[in-house]
Amino acid sequence: MSPKAASTATGPLAPSNPETKEDTALWSLKHVQVLWSWAAKPSKPKYPPISSIPPTPASRLLEADAVPATGEPFPTEPILTKNAHHGPSKSNTVLYLAYGSNMCAKTFLGMRGIRPLSQLNVSAPSLDLTFDLPGLPYREPCFANTTLRKLPEPPKLPPKVPDLPDLPDPPKMPPFSSPTGNTRKPINWTKGLIGVVYEVTAEDYAKIITTEGGGSSYHDILVPCFPLSVTIGVPEKPDIPIPPRPFLARTLYAPRLPAVPDHPPSSQDGDDECPKPEPPSWLKKLLLPVRRPSPDYAQPSSRYLGLLTAGAAEHDLPQDYQAYLQSLQPYTATTCLQKIGQMVFLGFWAPLFITVMLGGRMFSDEMGKAPKWVVVGTTVLFNLVWVSYDHIAKPIFGEGERTVEKEETETHRKREWWWGSWGTEEERRVLLA
């Protein structure tokens, strides 16, 4: 190739020593494209994909820690792990039920650094998925939790119906008119909890407890689970369906405690003994886990819901359950004041949260549980966060738990701001909507 031809090359063999202005521009553009491609190229994750985790063998589900002791009936509801009776187990691993962000590889394998030995999609019909675990207002209003599933009572036999009288003439129906507005309703899931059971080592399970708060909000429980088959396709010769055999898996559950009364009941039993002094109600509330007035009011953030939907897709959970997760409404800040509240809350409370979390990880024991003083400090910190939100931040910045339409918020702000009741009226309007 002649020097002149080399100087006018436009392909990947562009000249390294440009001679003309056109060559200089081409040379600069080529290097900018290369640098841009390197910057835009997504970095390879430092954790293995979900597909690399093998399925849990059936023999592991028959170990002593996955079934009740000999002679005891299989439980129909979750039980505390410390109250369970098992025989000697040959396995040193733990069957852990994940139902929230831990279903996602980015969180479970990446951020927490867990390396599961096996996995299995399951159904836990005794539990329901909820989002009643309080987080940080304006940023992460709530997190996933579980609650006991409420089954409807069997219908009672109706009384004997007397003979019916003659039916009157049917009324005239008005002309049909098409409905207006948005008539789509959110998906109502009534089939229990769907999740993933990971087989992890005892060390990794301790790490899970540590990264979930060191036992400050959760209780370790055993949950009856039923294996789910992966939807690969319809075989030419399907096997005869066999009812799945249940087994027990451990998970973390945060119970919803009853509200503390503002005035403790006075003892009128007539005893002559002096009653023991009780701490004031405000101190009891400060030392108990955060309890919001309505457990179904707060909405999770878009980031958190994205982890749940991504984890459900990675594990190929049932399509109707994935559709249910995708139909959930995330919390979105729709006003400038709400976005300012995000920055103020995160800037003020984040350093304290980081300090408490680091203390929990540094002083946790071999089981992953934090010491008592860390648990109490975390509980008090969360209560102070939500007290400051209810009495200071919400009247100033607006709603930090649930998405409110922007037009509605601005109209109400102009009407009620100077009367000092904006926060109360806003909450009442959202609850009655």
Give strand pairing partners of 129.
146
The reply to whether 14 sits in an annotated binding site is no
The owner of tokens 């878009």 is 302
Greatest distance between any 2 Cα atoms in the chain: 114
Query: How many CB atoms lie under 10 A from the CB of residue 192?
Result: 16
**CA–CA distance, 138 with 152 (Å, rounded to integer):** 36
Return the H-helix or E-strand segment holding 269: none
Q: What tokens does 39 get?
A: 């910057």
Residues acting as catalytic residues: 212
**CA–CA distance, 402 with 419 (Å, rounded to integer):** 23
**CA–CA distance, 138 with 350 (Å, rounded to integer):** 13
Handedness of CA 279, 134, 125, 200 (dihedral sign): negative
The reply to whether 99 sits in an annotated binding site is yes
The reply to whether 389 sits in an annotated binding site is no
**CA–CA distance, 364 with 54 (Å, rounded to integer):** 31
Query: Quick one: which of 296, 334, 353 has its CA closest to 141?
Result: 296
Query: How many CB atoms lie under 10 A from the CB of residue 258?
Result: 7
**CA–CA distance, 131 with 129 (Å, rounded to integer):** 7
The reply to whether 323 sits in an annotated binding site is no
**CA–CA distance, 253 with 289 (Å, rounded to integer):** 13
The reply to whether 11 sits in an annotated binding site is no
The owner of tokens 């990971």 is 198
Indicate the annotated binding residues.
96-101, 304
Indicate the annotated binding residues for substrate.
96-101, 304
